[in-house]
């Protein structure tokens, strides 16, 4: 088979890494890819939003299956377009991808089908939003309704912070059209976790649990990022909690989408808060999470291609999705200044020095004069796999010590919540 992966970040590197192990794949392409992906697949210089060009490439090269990584092309209807062109593509349709592309769509769905989530209100009028925030008080959560690359959420602990977030989104238009409408939610207390699932209509195949670390500094301090590191599975979360999440949240969500006439096919990301009242949904994503993919996919024992093919032929329920009885941890190395302004073009050293059982996934890298350089806020995902989380953590940080670039920043406490 010939397979094309759309995307060029750490998530896509992990997907390509896994697909490259399938004996059924004869040729693997990635658009646009990155220098790390280039070691496993042929990179094609087409951007993820150039949907027509991607489809033309898939036709020209007789691609058997296209896997779409990022949210932007999904929300723009890449799956719809590919299918209209008679191409086989894996991912949710534009209509189903609204579960991520519109926070309001997701909240209305949850309320209608009684899926546990935070109380909310949505606004397009700044004055009304401000009045609501003042009446509710802090702490409170302000979200840009549209796509903001994982950064359009502010957990405001004071009224000043909440008001500043509203002004930034609605008046200063920091997130462009994504913040024209805002969703304001009650603040949920508890521990966060992620459950990714393969979904086809009402069939759900959950993956192992994982936990992201969003804030830029240790101890969950500083601004929210796209994710500074992650680990899987969560040894301190009782399996009964995961069962409850599947039964009361993920399965009902899949069934709700079918009932709404927008059946979901693809990877469903469910971001959760484990509250005193039980698990509640913080957000959905219409694709693999980044960096969760970098720990979940390496633990997958089943051939990923087999799962995708089964889903596309309506046979997902017949596939046994197997997982390794191991732990994985990913530490993100970012550019100085991220998630604010940062410089690019710093040479990366030591990529060939990493310890065994460690994989380096390239998130924001480029090639210049034969050297790999930084080309993004999140640069590398250093992932280690071991029998226990403690061992995986030690291996990951040993490898992080061996890799360097000017201004490299990383958190030193990834996975520490599992040991409290």
149 has a pLDDT exceeding 70 = no
What is the pLDDT at residue 419?
86
What CATH number matches the domain at 125-180, 1.10.10.10, 3.40.50.1370, 3.30.1490.20, 3.30.70.270? 3.30.1490.20
420 has a pLDDT exceeding 80 = no
DSSP 8-state class, residue 172? S
* pTM (two decimals): 0.93
What is the pLDDT at residue 150?
55
76 — pLDDT class (breaks 50, 70, 90):
very high
Question: Start-end ranges of CATH 3.90.600.10 in the chain?
Answer: 327-419
What is the pLDDT at residue 49?
97
State which fold the 191-318 domain adopts: D-amino Acid Aminotransferase; Chain A, domain 1 (3.30.470)
Question: Start-end ranges of CATH 3.30.470.20 in the chain?
Answer: 191-318
What is the pLDDT at residue 180?
76
What is the pLDDT at residue 183?
86
What is the pLDDT at residue 306?
98
Between 223 and 362, name the one with better pLDDT: 362
314 has a pLDDT exceeding 60 = yes
What is the pLDDT at residue 320?
96
Distance (Å, whole) CA 116 – CA 113 = 9
375 within 8 A of 365, measured Cβ to Cβ:
yes
173 — pLDDT class (breaks 50, 70, 90):
confident
155 — pLDDT class (breaks 50, 70, 90):
confident
What is the pLDDT at residue 151?
59
Between 124 and 18, name the one with better pLDDT: 18
> What mean pLDDT value characterizes the chain?
94
Which long-range contacts link 58-63 to residues 24+ away (Cβ below 8 Å)? 58/4, 58/82, 58/85, 58/87, 59/85, 59/87, 61/2, 61/4, 61/29, 62/2, 63/2, 63/3, 63/4, 63/29, 63/87, 63/88
Q: How far is CA 53 from CA 32, 60, 175, 220, 246, in A?
A: 12, 10, 27, 41, 38
pLDDT tens digit sequence for 55-72: 999 999 999 999 999 999
Question: Start-end ranges of CATH 3.30.1490.20 in the chain?
Answer: 125-180
What tokens appear for 301 in the block?
């024992």
> Collapsing DSSP states into helix, strand and coil, what is residue 10?
helix
Query: According to CATH, what is the number of the domain 2-93?
Result: 3.40.50.20
Tell me the Cα Rg of the chain.
20
What is the pLDDT at residue 86?
98
What is the pLDDT at residue 278?
95
356 — pLDDT class (breaks 50, 70, 90):
confident
334 — pLDDT class (breaks 50, 70, 90):
very high
Q: How far is CA 284 from CA 271, 306, 415, in A?
A: 6, 25, 22
Q: How far is CA 130 from CA 119, 148, 176, 181, 236, in A?
A: 17, 21, 19, 13, 39
What is the pLDDT at residue 168?
86
220 has a pLDDT exceeding 70 = yes
What tokens appear for 249 in the block?
């949240």
pLDDT tens digit sequence for 234-280: 999 999 999 999 999 999 999 999 999 999 999 999 999 999 999 99
In the chain, pLDDT over 70 holds for what percent of residues?
97
Arithmetic mean of pLDDT, 33-37:
98
| Strands 65-68 and 89-90, sheet pairing | parallel
Question: What's phi and psi for 284, nearest 5 deg?
Answer: -110, 150
Least confident of 85-94, 155-164, 395-404: 155-164
Arithmetic mean of pLDDT, 349-368:
94
What is the pLDDT at residue 179?
60
pLDDT tens digit sequence for 16-25: 999 999 999 9
Using CB atoms within 10 A of its CB, is residue 279 exposed (0-12), middle (13-18) or buried (19+)?
buried
State which fold the 327-419 domain adopts: 3.90.600
């Amino acid at each position: 088979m010939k397979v094309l992966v759309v995307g060029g970040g750490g998530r896509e590197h992990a997907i390509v890494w896994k697909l490259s192990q399938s004996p059924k794949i004869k040729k693997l392409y990635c658009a646009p890819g990155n220098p790390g992906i280039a070691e496993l697949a042929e990179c094609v210089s087409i951007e993820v939003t150039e949907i027509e060009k991607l489809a033309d490439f898939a036709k020209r090269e007789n691609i058997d299956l296209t896997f779409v990584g990022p949210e932007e092309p999904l929300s723009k209807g890449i799956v719809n377009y590919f299918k209209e062109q008679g191409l086989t593509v894996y991912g949710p349709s534009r209509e189903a991808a609204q579960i991520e592309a519109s926070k309001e769509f997701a909240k209305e769905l949850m309320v209608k089908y009684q899926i546990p989530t935070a109380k909310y209100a949505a606004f397009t009028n700044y004055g009304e939003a401000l009045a609501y925030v003042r009446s509710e008080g802090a702490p409170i959560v302000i979200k840009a309704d549209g796509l903001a690359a994982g950064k359009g959420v502010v957990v405001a602990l004071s009224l000043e912070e909440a008001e500043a977030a509203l002004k930034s989104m609605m008046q200063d238009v920091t997130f462009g059209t994504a913040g024209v409408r805002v969703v304001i939610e009650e603040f949920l207390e508890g521990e966060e976790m992620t459950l990714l699932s393969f979904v086809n209509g009402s069939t759900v195949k959950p993956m192992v649990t994982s936990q992201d670390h969003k804030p830029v500094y240790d101890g969950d301090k500083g601004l929210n990022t796209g994710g500074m590191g992650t680990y899987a599975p969560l040894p301190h979360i009782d399996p009964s909690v995961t069962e409850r999440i599947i039964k009361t949240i993920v399965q009902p969500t899949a069934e709700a989408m079918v009932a709404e006439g927008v059946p979901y096919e693809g990877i469903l990301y469910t971001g959760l808060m484990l509250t005193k009242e039980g698990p509640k949904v913080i957000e959905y994503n219409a694709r693999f999470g980044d960096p969760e993919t970098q720990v979940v996919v390496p633990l997958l024992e089943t051939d990923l291609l087999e799962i995708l093919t089964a889903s596309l032929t309506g046979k997902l329920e017949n596939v046994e999705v197997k997982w390794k009885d191991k732990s994985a941890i990913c530490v993100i190395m970012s550019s100085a200044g991220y998630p604010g302004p940062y410089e690019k073009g710093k040479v990366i050293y030591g990529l060939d020095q990493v310890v065994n059982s460690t994989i380096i996934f390239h998130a924001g890298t480029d090639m210049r004069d034969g050297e790999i350089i930084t080309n993004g806020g999140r640069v590398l995902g250093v992932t280690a796999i071991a029998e226990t989380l403690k061992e995986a953590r030690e291996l990951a940080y040993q490898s992080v010590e061996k890799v360097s670039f000017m201004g490299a920043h990383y958190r030193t406490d990834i996975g520490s919540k599992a040991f409290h």
